[in-house]
Amino acid sequence: MDTNRLLSSLSYFSIFFAGFIFPIIVYFLVDDPETKRHAKSAFLSHLLPLIAVPLVIAGVFFDIGVLAVGSGIPIFIFITIGFSLLISLVVVIWNVYKGIKVLL
């Protein structure tokens, strides 16, 4: 198996064990442009779930009145947490797909 393909695949699979650190290391240490492209793509996809953090914070602020009074269901919090979980699940599935595709 080609080392560059293995590093490219591990950049995608690193979502399970090294987050966005491994793709950065691969990007700066490898000279192959194709491997750099995969490392950059994996790094950007690992950052996508961080987009949902401001949405969850906004959901808390929208529902702060409901939480303070204790009456009602904090619907915005549930929606934003569900949306962030959906984004995370899609990113994990996409990274596994791309990692397998690079290996084959």
Where in the chain are the domains?
Answer: 3-103
Q: What does the pLDDT look like over 47-89, one tens digit per residue?
A: 988 888 888 888 888 777 766 677 777 788 888 889 889 999 9
Measured between alpha carbons, how far is 79 from 93 in angstroms, rounded to an integer? Answer: 21
Label residues 61-98 b or e (16+ Cβ within 10 Å = b): eebeeeeeeeeeebebbeebbeebeebeeebeebbeeb
Higher-confidence position of 95 and 66: 95
Listed residue (104, 79, 17) closest to 25, CA to CA: 17
Q: What is the pTM of this model?
A: 0.80
Q: How far apart are CA 42 and CA 15, in angstroms?
A: 8
| 21-54 residue pLDDT tens | 999 999 999 999 999 999 999 999 999 888 888 8
